[in-house]
Structure 1
Amino acid sequence: MADPPSPDSLSKNPIYTEAELEEIAPRSRDSRARLFSSVRNKFRCSGEIAKSLLLKFIPILSWLPRYPVKEWLLGDVISGLSVGIIQLPQGLAYALLAGVPPVFGLYSSFYPIVLYTIFGTSRHISPGTFAVISVMVGSVTESLVPSEDFMTSQNDSNIDTEARDAARVQVASALTLLVGIFQILLGLVQFGFVVTYLSEPLIRGYTSAAAIHVTLSQVKSILGVAISQGSHPLSLIYTFLKLCSKIPQTNIASLLIGVIAITVMFTVKYLNEKYNSKIPIPIPIELFTLIVATGISYGVNLNKLYGVDIVGNIPTGLKAPIVPRTDLFASVVGNAFAIAVVVYAFTISLVKMFAVKHGYNVDSNQELIALGLSNSVGSFFQCFTIGTAMSRSLVQESTGGNSQVAGAVSAAVILVIILKAGELFESLPKAILASVVVVNLKGIFKQFKDIPALWRSNKIDLLVWIVTFIATILLNLDLGLAVSVGFSLLTVIFRTQWPHYSILGQVSSTDIYRDVSQCEQAVEFPGVKIFRSSCTLYFANAELYANAVKRMCGVDVDKLIEVKKKEAKKKKQLQEKAEKEAKKGLKTKKNSEETNRKVNELEFICPQIPEVKEPETEGDAVYENIEEPTMYNMESSECPFHSLILDLSTVSFVDTVSIKILKTIFRDFQEIDVSVYLVGCHENVLDQLECGNFFSKTITKRQLFSSIHDAVTYISKVHSKKPPTDEGSFNSTVL
């Protein structure tokens, strides 16, 4: 182990306490004035500010005039065509997940994309229908509009599908409008940071569970059976049991179609990934599968001969806008907020990933506004809630997409299909659409590899992942998200309850201080204890912090205080006894003088009387038969260090409870003659300490320093000039 550092090895630079530093560079005291100035600047109106706000709110006005046509246009067109081809089967398939007819998936793949192109800030994501969001919408539509309510008669099992689908479209539109309103409001109040409460393990665990929900919802189409799904807790378990009971009724033709389609698409996608460097554009296997399956179904007439369920009527052309039913808001408000947050969480994670990769900036709050406008305006055209699919976004980026011009091209592809080619897919088996959904979940299912990785790296994050997954499986998507966020926040609270406490030492010949238990080169400075906590200090862990300070310093502070009090009490008793004996001695002296006078008279009369000796005197006091007082052994109450430094560099704020605890620490250690110092306090923490009346005659700003090294240097200078007291301890008064 290295030798303890000496005072001579410390810095020769000037050392300033907080009080001295504020004299040199005073801090601004008027926080109200700063706040007022900030608000005034934000609401100040000028031509430049209005222009910047316009460009911020409508980003296309800033990047489109500077669009490099020669460099980017070809890549964007190729990328847009590729994404549009993929968007077609996904739009049809995800509409079934949302519980609405397939054509509404095409609407949701057109209108929102156009709006995001105008208002979005990301150049590479592909907004539109997304499996996880679609299944969340489907859980709402199927719970509010169950199929059982549309039986043609009590004795007939036939369902009025047109009336049911119309009712579900109204629910989906109302839900989408409310989702958009929430997103716009959150964006306007700069609430984009809400997604920070959705950690990556939480999102990945949630999407993994959602993939299970999505897959199970599509098994019924592959098996060719009809079952109803709910959105209540344990609904996934009940759906699984219903599917098991329906297995004997499986349509063999539908099952074969689904298995063959899944096998073919998985194989081609594997080849696309393996030879992606040699293939300029991935093979659009989903589109080829749709075309081939539609042709076979139409030629063989699978619906009539084998009972294979098909898509059915797909109307061509665009529909006039319709105002969604606002009376449904009360029934879907909770689901709408959950979906709004989940959509934003998925989107912003992809937005930031591509922004970092390609080196451009994005605006998180503007992304919320762009998504909100896409959903709220789209709801008037009977769109259901859209999100951002990772598979399409990766295709858009890998095929040369450089801007949202690619998104506009993909929207144009969907528009052509809506106007002219939609009816060509009326004979498409629903098993094919279900297969498309399942195959595109492959990337999400790969997230189960997180479990062994998190086990090795961070078990708390693994616990968040597992709890999120189980809660979402058992409680469904909306309640599962709420429970997951609550549990994730609890882990943060629990971590602050058990932070890492450490005693720091100086690394030889440096001004760096490290944990002495983890760094052999770090040596404690003689007579100084430096304490640090790894987390902030607030009401929930303030008491634990105080106990840890006393425990880590290696002394029983409370016992030393008790011993000190006993010593003081005993000294006082001895002093009182000495004063009494002194008074008694004075009285004895007077009596002895009277006795001497009488003795002299007797000697004159009778000289044979023996002489009476006068007691020994010392000054004005007489000590006759008084034992020397036994002093208490001061070594038993002596603290092995004279200074304690509390490193508050990790503290981001203090509340009233933590201020009281800090005062208690100062009081207790000063009672055992230990000086306490604070270092690393941020400006806002200093303001909070001042407002909390922390400073007083016994606690001054001369006990605050900017760094540990400054405090240690100051202490070494003070105690090198100060001789120890008679008791062997140092004076706690700070110069």
Structure 2
Amino acid sequence: MEDTELNPKHRRKLLRVTAFEEKFKKPPESPKPLSERIRTQCRDYFSKRKLIKTVHANFPFIGLLRKYKLKESLANDVISGLTVGIMQIPQGMAYALLGSLPPIVGLYTSFFGPLIYFFLGTSRHASMGTIAIVSLMIASVLDTRLGGGVDPGNAFPVTNVTATSTSVNITNITTPSQVSTMTSAFSEIDLQKIQMTAALSFISGFVMIFLGKINMGLVATYMSEPMVCGFTSAVAIHVLTSQAKHVLGINVGRHNGVFKVIKTWIDIFKNIVTINWAAVITSIICILAIYAVKIHVNLRFKAKLKIPIPIEIIVVAIATTISHFAKFKTNYEVNVLEDIPSGLPAPAIPDVTLVGESFKDAVIIGIVAFIQSVSMAKILARKNNYHINPNQEMVAYGAGSVLNSVFSGYIPAASVARSMVQEGAGGHTQVASLFGCLVVLVVILAIGPLFYSLPKCVLSCVILVNLRSMFLQFLELKPLWKKSKYDFMIWVVTFLATVILDADIGIGIGIVFSILTVAIRTQRPEFYRAGIIDGQYIKSTEKYNEVQEEQSIKIVHFQSPLYFANSEMFVKAVRVASNIDPEQIKKVRKQAEKAVNVKPENVTAENGIPDSELDEVLVPNHTENQPCREAILLDMSGVPFLDVVGVKTLRRVFNEYNSIDVDVMLAGCSDGVLDILRSTDFMSEKEDFIFVDVESAIESYRGSSSGTE
């Protein structure tokens, strides 16, 4: 055994960080010449192994197909794919109308979105296509830029107006002949909306691809779960508001910008006497039918049903048939879809100059689509024991937006409902999405025109029932309040900002407020006076029993980063937890010095300090029975990082307590904290007072106080 292990004096020295690192820390590797590093990087980057790895990372479907098991997976993928494909039809048309676009645009998105995701996505179960949030945000942009072209009595695109009957508040608009979906079924305003949406999707897609390639998939970490839940719940209110007038058959104007939810409901109540009872009765029947089957049959008997009953497409088919033969449009003035073009649109590069001032909207919508999609993908990945790549997911979503924009679609995203169905119906891989695309393709090529007589209120019912999961999030508020007040406030602030103001403003306020709560938490850190339980556990003296404290050492635990925002709080925490206030002690000592000369009656004979002052503060006491100095041991194990201001604060603490004959020690510093202490010369100045851990500091201090060192 080495001498250093036998000699207590050398053992205590080893407990200090400098000696510990000198003995055990690996020396830094000597830097290689620049030319050699360049050659190594080039050799690794252009190697065959690196090339194969890069191809597989950018095109995950290659690995999927190589490992695909036909016997085990194909049947399940076919069933789940066809099931989701059937769901895509009514939802695609409904969400396109929610986005103030012709219904066929939603079908284009439901076809090209899953198709490109099969090649580039890393989730096995995410169902790409149209979703409510993206559609609503698209509608907000279109109504702002093309507000003059929207019929104030109809929030859906008007399909029977002529080019001369519309006015467009947009500059540099291209002619309708340049739109890929060239057909007489679209009005001029519909064509202009398709153009604008394609341009937004094109820009959004390329921004998402760029962000994914520079590894910005971590943007999802800045949107906490409470913030996303509050935002999606608020969007559900927006969607409900936009669909209420169609369910009721009321013709009211469409509002944009802040307070649009409030303004819309005011208009609805003003025109409540104009309710179209045919639309109301139709909506009630459809909502009850869809809800009953989805919740009380599909969900309740999920284990017994091989595939869920496609109630949405059944309701759509029945409603279309009844509307056609009963002539809902003519006899009851119920709005119907009317002409739906058949066939795939010709590809065309969007005119990006149309985006203009809406560039930020394109980026925000893309990020929102990414956040919802990657959140859903992560949930399903954890459930089925596989991993996704957030950066590659961002690239996949961006590529989907670009492809959709070329074929007159818009930004796709993963639907919670469809993804759960795809996974619940037994789907094993993204091969299921290919079979879903086939179903949508058949509708686009041949069946679409058959939906001419479908009442729009039926599609509104499809949307409203699918908002159920978003509305159920309100039930999480009460338990969230009990779990975390900060998370509760994030949820509420994001929700209120989104509902009262607008979706893009609300999400911005939600992110800023979430970051603000982090700053507030660090400014109100947890700190406490600590002791040792059973010789090994460092715990609070207030919260635990049988905590033993060293007679001359006050252990202070600080649980937070130490940086510019909470430096003063750190100083206060040390004073409160140790019960030693340098300023107060200096003041008491000055009074004691004066009292020695004056000798008033209320001064103690022992040391000349007033009794009242002795009660308020602990004064370091050095008697013959206690020859060692008082010491404060700062347990830094709960400090993840500190900045330059934090180092200055530590110097201040050391200097203030040293001036009153109180030693200060640091213990349990992380490597990152030690690095900045070393770079600011703090380590070299105070190396004798920086220890590996709390036990080492106590052991060393015991030895020094006993005089063995």
Aligned to 1:251: 276
Aligned to 1:493: 519
Whether contact under 8 Å (2:580, 2:619) holds in the other structure is: no
676, 692, 709: which one pairs with 2:695? 709
Following the alignment from structure 1 to structure 2, what is the Cα–Cα distance between the partners of residues 211 and 654? 42
**Secondary structure, counterpart of 2:498 in structure 1:** helix
515, 524, 530: which one pairs with 2:540? 515
Following the alignment from structure 2 to structure 1, what is the Cα–Cα distance between the partners of residues 372 and 28? 42
Aligned to 2:241: 216
Whether contact under 8 Å (1:503, 1:529) holds in the other structure is: yes
Aligned to 2:147: 146
Aligned to 1:93: 94
Which digits, 9 at most, give the CA deviation of each residue in 1:268-292, with x for residues without a partner? 1122211222222111100100110
Whether contact under 8 Å (1:505, 1:513) holds in the other structure is: yes
Matching residue's letter, 1:24 = K
Following the alignment from structure 2 to structure 1, what is the Cα–Cα distance between the partners of residues 41 and 703? 48
Aligned to 2:106: 105
Aligned to 1:46: 47
Deviation, 1:71, is 0.6
Following the alignment from structure 1 to structure 2, what is the Cα–Cα distance between the partners of residues 39 and 17? 42
Greater C-alpha radius of gyration: 1
Deviation, 1:228, is 3.6
Deviation, 1:33, is 7.9
Matching residue's letter, 2:664 = V
Aligned to 1:20: 19
Whether contact under 8 Å (1:150, 1:163) holds in the other structure is: no
657, 663, 677: which one pairs with 1:669? 657
Matching residue's letter, 2:20 = L
639, 648, 672: which one pairs with 2:620? 639
Which digits, 9 at most, give the CA deviation of each residue in 1:642-680, with x for residues without a partner? 221112122222212111100011111112222211112
**Secondary structure, counterpart of 2:116 in structure 1:** helix
Aligned to 1:183: 208
Matching residue's letter, 2:313 = L
**In the alignment, is residue 655 of structure 1 matched against residue 661 of structure 2?**
no
Structure 1 residues 37 and 128, CA, compared in 2 at 3 Å: closer, same or farther? farther
**Secondary structure, counterpart of 1:349 in structure 2:** helix
**In the alignment, is residue 168 of structure 1 matched against residue 149 of structure 2?**
no
**Secondary structure, counterpart of 1:540 in structure 2:** helix
Which deviates more, 198-207 or 175-184? 175-184
The number of residue pairs the alignment matches comes to 652
Whether contact under 8 Å (1:537, 1:658) holds in the other structure is: yes
Following the alignment from structure 1 to structure 2, what is the Cα–Cα distance between the partners of residues 88 and 156? 31
Deviation, 1:443, is 1.1
Deviation, 1:507, is 0.6
Following the alignment from structure 2 to structure 1, what is the Cα–Cα distance between the partners of residues 706 and 274? 92
Deviation, 1:632, is 6.5
**Secondary structure, counterpart of 2:307 in structure 1:** coil
Which deviates more, 536-545 or 275-284? 275-284
Following the alignment from structure 2 to structure 1, what is the Cα–Cα distance between the partners of residues 538 and 37? 40
**In the alignment, is residue 402 of structure 1 matched against residue 428 of structure 2?**
yes
Aligned to 2:228: 203
**Secondary structure, counterpart of 2:271 in structure 1:** helix
Following the alignment from structure 1 to structure 2, what is the Cα–Cα distance between the partners of residues 326 and 79? 37
Whether contact under 8 Å (2:83, 2:310) holds in the other structure is: yes
Whether contact under 8 Å (2:337, 2:456) holds in the other structure is: yes
Following the alignment from structure 1 to structure 2, what is the Cα–Cα distance between the partners of residues 485 and 675? 43
Consecutive unaligned residues of structure 1, counting only runs of 5 or more, are 1-11, 574-629, 723-734
Aligned to 2:386: 360
Structure 1 residues 13 and 268, CA, compared in 2 at 3 Å: closer, same or farther? farther
**Secondary structure, counterpart of 1:681 in structure 2:** coil
Whether contact under 8 Å (1:499, 1:534) holds in the other structure is: yes
Which digits, 9 at most, give the CA deviation of each residue in 1:194-223, with x for residues without a partner? 111111111001000000101111122222
**In the alignment, is residue 319 of structure 1 matched against residue 319 of structure 2?**
no
Following the alignment from structure 1 to structure 2, what is the Cα–Cα distance between the partners of residues 424 and 501? 69
Structure 1 residues 13 and 350, CA, compared in 2 at 3 Å: closer, same or farther? farther
**Secondary structure, counterpart of 2:554 in structure 1:** strand
**Secondary structure, counterpart of 1:275 in structure 2:** coil
Which digits, 9 at most, give the CA deviation of each residue in 1:173-195, with x for residues without a partner? 11111221221121111111111
Following the alignment from structure 1 to structure 2, what is the Cα–Cα distance between the partners of residues 318 and 654? 59
Whether contact under 8 Å (2:200, 2:352) holds in the other structure is: no
Which digits, 9 at most, give the CA deviation of each residue in 1:710-731, with x for residues without a partner? 2112212221226xxxxxxxxx
Following the alignment from structure 1 to structure 2, what is the Cα–Cα distance between the partners of residues 23 and 110? 63
Deviation, 1:155, is 13
Matching residue's letter, 2:251 = A
Which digits, 9 at most, give the CA deviation of each residue in 1:559-592, with x for residues without a partner? 3245567889999x9xxxxxxxxxxxxxxxxxxx
Whether contact under 8 Å (2:586, 2:660) holds in the other structure is: yes
Aligned to 1:392: 418
675, 679, 686: which one pairs with 1:687? 675
Consecutive unaligned residues of structure 2, counting only runs of 5 or more, are 1-10, 153-160, 169-184, 598-604, 622-628
406, 429, 432: which one pairs with 2:455? 429
Which digits, 9 at most, give the CA deviation of each residue in 1:324-366, with x for residues without a partner? 1211222211212221221111111111111111111111111
Matching residue's letter, 2:192 = A
Following the alignment from structure 1 to structure 2, what is the Cα–Cα distance between the partners of residues 423 and 240? 34
Following the alignment from structure 1 to structure 2, what is the Cα–Cα distance between the partners of residues 302 and 157? 26
Matching residue's letter, 1:226 = N
Structure 1 residues 158 and 687, CA, compared in 2 at 3 Å: closer, same or farther? closer
Deviation, 1:29, is 5.5
Aligned to 2:482: 456
252, 271, 274: which one pairs with 1:227? 252
Structure 1 residues 225 and 62, CA, compared in 2 at 3 Å: closer, same or farther? same
